[in-house]
Amino acid sequence: MKKILALVLALMMAISAFSFAAAEEEKSVNIGVTSTITSLNPLAMDATEIVKYATSLVFQSLVEADRELNFVPIIAESITTEDNLHFTIKIKDDAVWSDGTPITAEDVEYTLVVAADPQSANISLAMYSIVGVSDDGIIEENAEHIEGIQVVDDKTLTVETKWPTALFTFENNFGRYALILPKHVLKDVARDQLLTYEWFNHPDVISGPYFLQDFDLQHYVHYVANENYFLGAPKIKYLNLNVVADAQLLAGLQSGEIDLIQPTMANIPVDDYEAVKALENVTAVTSAAITNELIFINVAKVPDVRIRQALLYGMDRQSMLETLLGDSGELVDGFLVSASPYYSEELGVTEYDPDKAAALIAEAKADGAETELTWYVNSSEGTWGQAVQYFAALFEEIGLKINIRTVDLANLLDTVSEGAHDILSVEYSLMPADPYTDIAWLVGGQSLWTGYTTNEVNEALEKSQSLTDQAEITEQYLLVNRDMQENVPVISGWVIAKLGAVSNRLQNAVPDVFGTLINVQDWDIE
């Protein structure tokens, strides 16, 4: 009997140990997202945060922004400059690909070269700012090198820009958005095949914490842990991005089907904020007011500045903010939010003035201006959609007809690329520490978002990059935002302090606008 009892106890202990190991191995986390993902190919990555995060789980960046808006090392050990023209990138000694091959300076060079090759160009990167790249952001087909990029050794390279570029801007644009590719795997792939290369659907050599396992971009992306991740093997084996309607987020959190909601990948309806905060199984996290509901006006299709000014004066933004957001947002004019170190209260906020708007519309109409406009709205932003309906009714009363088109994010971006919009609005989280990159993208040069540019705006933006004194930089951004206030290619509907949420069973995860996934390898399930 003693022998039988000992055998039974030993068997029970073995089963228990096996069950515990299996449970550890099969940990799974579900992240709820409300926008479809357009691509998982780093070269096809657009400017949306959802695509950046979904892709960077597989292919890492040089640096990433944390919750305090600092750029922290990921693949890069450091990015430095002494003159805002020459930048030195040092790669971590222990940064390796999942197959054990070291990540090198040649991988970074290769990534930037193919991102500028016209056959595989990534238009989201400001490649045009690098010496040796055309002002259109491209180089000769199949070029192996770029004049302004020099590999110093296996772990060091330098990048030279055509004009002064602030370190924050360089880190944000190239450090954060250039997702590094494995040259030793892709070097022999024809450049004209890279954007549609099947390998990117199931890459077997990666730098990030997770391999792609399976995906349907309209509905989900499933990942499995990279046990050889150089920052540490993830404790969570399976990670899933599940695309759901915003109205389903509260129920998903409550039932436990959703473990985390990150504010730029999903929109919790404002009406659900208090209910989410009251959930006992969830911790809600309110971000700083960073996410700007920006309204872009295509000046080629709305050329009369009086119509654009009427749009600004004719929106009762304050009433909508109080009604729909309460204390979860703020009003600004232009691009900069109060969380930015370059924000200036001197700009003020344009007040609602329907009489002035009506007079401007009547005056412009008498001169032949078009007074029927189409406004494209992102379908995943339900609260903002309500506001646009209200604004359209106000404009109807003063002589401006607004036709509202509600489309998903992918179609919204297609509309931008075609320049088909009169007005278009979408949530846009500008990096508060680096306004330049997004402002230059949206109104500098020949932006497809607005088609608007002036020498004064471009000069102010360029000057901001060579200055070091914060007050002087702020003055340049004040000039830019005054121009937005006067010529109105862009309107800030409002800025929202978005809500994120995380299940109490998920440890070490803090959902915020920036920094959520930096430590994803350390997430664990209680």
CA distance 513 to 499: 9
Which residues sit opposite 79 in a β-bridge? 89
Tens digit of each residue's pLDDT (9 = 90 or more) over 245-256? 999 999 999 999
Where is average pLDDT lowest: 97-106, 305-314, 421-430? 421-430
Range of the domain at 432: 291-496
Q: Position of tokens 């509260």?
A: 250
C-alpha 259: how far from its chain's center? 21
C-alpha 489: how far from its chain's center? 21
End position of a domain, from candidates 133, 160, 192: 192
In this structure, are 230 and 332 located in the same domain?
Answer: no
Residue 198 placed within a domain = no
Where is average pLDDT lowest: 40-54, 80-94, 498-512? 40-54
In this structure, are 389 and 511 located in the same domain?
Answer: no
Among residues 51, 29, 380, 46, the alpha carbon closest in space to that of 222 is found at 29
Where is average pLDDT lowest: 32-36, 176-180, 220-224? 32-36
What string of H, E and C letters represents the secondary structure of 197-231? CHHHHCCCCCCCCEEEEEEECCCEEEEEECCCCCC
Residue 248 placed within a domain = yes
End position of a domain, from candidates 168, 192, 216: 192
Confidence of residue 419 (pLDDT cuts 50, 70, 90): confident
In the predicted model, is pLDDT for residue 144 greater than 90?
A: yes
Residue 468 placed within a domain = yes
CA distance 119 to 102: 27
**What CATH number is associated with residue 177?**
3.90.76.10
Can you read off the two tokens belonging to residue 205?
Answer: 């050599």
In this structure, are 267 and 383 located in the same domain?
Answer: no
End position of a domain, from candidates 192, 224, 245: 192
Q: What percent of the chain has pLDDT over 90?
A: 79
Q: Provide mean pLDDT across the span 131-137.
A: 94
Q: Render 421-447 in DSSP notation, one character per residue.
A: -SEEEEEEE--TT-HHHHHHHHHSTT-
CA distance 142 to 128: 17
Can you read off the two tokens belonging to residue 502?
Answer: 């995380």
Q: Provide mean pLDDT across the span 319-331.
A: 90
**What CATH number is associated with residue 217?**
3.40.190.10
Among residues 464, 458, 460, the alpha carbon closest in space to that of 446 is found at 458
Cα 80 to Cα 97, 159, 160, 437: the distances in Å are: 24, 10, 12, 18
Quick one: pLDDT at residue 193?
A: 96
Tens digit of each residue's pLDDT (9 = 90 or more) over 101-113? 999 999 999 999 9
- Burial (CB count within 10 angstroms: exposed 0-12, middle 13-18, buried 19+), residue 281: exposed
Backbone angles phi, psi at 25, to 5 degrees: -70, -30
Q: Position of tokens 């915003």?
A: 246
Confidence of residue 25 (pLDDT cuts 50, 70, 90): low
Domain count within the chain: 3
Cα 500 to Cα 56, 129, 276, 386, 512: the distances in Å are: 20, 35, 9, 21, 6
Residue 29 placed within a domain = no
In this structure, are 180 and 218 located in the same domain?
Answer: no
In this structure, are 229 and 343 located in the same domain?
Answer: no
Q: At what angle do helices 354-366 and 305-313 cross, to 10 degrees?
A: 160
In this structure, are 256 and 363 located in the same domain?
Answer: no
Residue 344 placed within a domain = yes
Residue 3 placed within a domain = no
Q: Provide mean pLDDT across the span 175-196.
A: 96
Residue 362 placed within a domain = yes
In this structure, are 299 and 254 located in the same domain?
Answer: no
Q: Provide mean pLDDT across the span 52-74.
A: 95
Residue 273: partners with Cβ closer than 8 Å, 6 or more residues away: 284, 328, 499
CA distance 262 to 244: 13
In this structure, are 359 and 424 located in the same domain?
Answer: yes
Residue 39 placed within a domain = no
Mean pLDDT of the chain: 92
In this structure, are 252 and 361 located in the same domain?
Answer: no
In this structure, are 336 and 484 located in the same domain?
Answer: yes
Whether 277 contacts 66, CB under 8 Å: no
Q: Provide mean pLDDT across the span 132-145.
A: 95
Whether 155 contacts 91, CB under 8 Å: yes
Tens digit of each residue's pLDDT (9 = 90 or more) over 255-266? 999 999 999 899
Angle at 205 between CA 203 and CA 209, to 5 degrees: 90
Collapsed DSSP state (helix, strand, coil) of residue 457: helix
**What CATH number is associated with residue 422?**
3.10.105.10
Cα 515 to Cα 63, 93, 262, 311: the distances in Å are: 11, 23, 10, 35
Quick one: pLDDT at residue 445?
A: 61
In this structure, are 337 and 244 located in the same domain?
Answer: no
In this structure, are 404 and 475 located in the same domain?
Answer: yes
- Burial (CB count within 10 angstroms: exposed 0-12, middle 13-18, buried 19+), residue 10: exposed
Which residues sit opposite 71 in a β-bridge? 65
Among residues 88, 65, 60, 63, the alpha carbon closest in space to that of 73 is found at 63
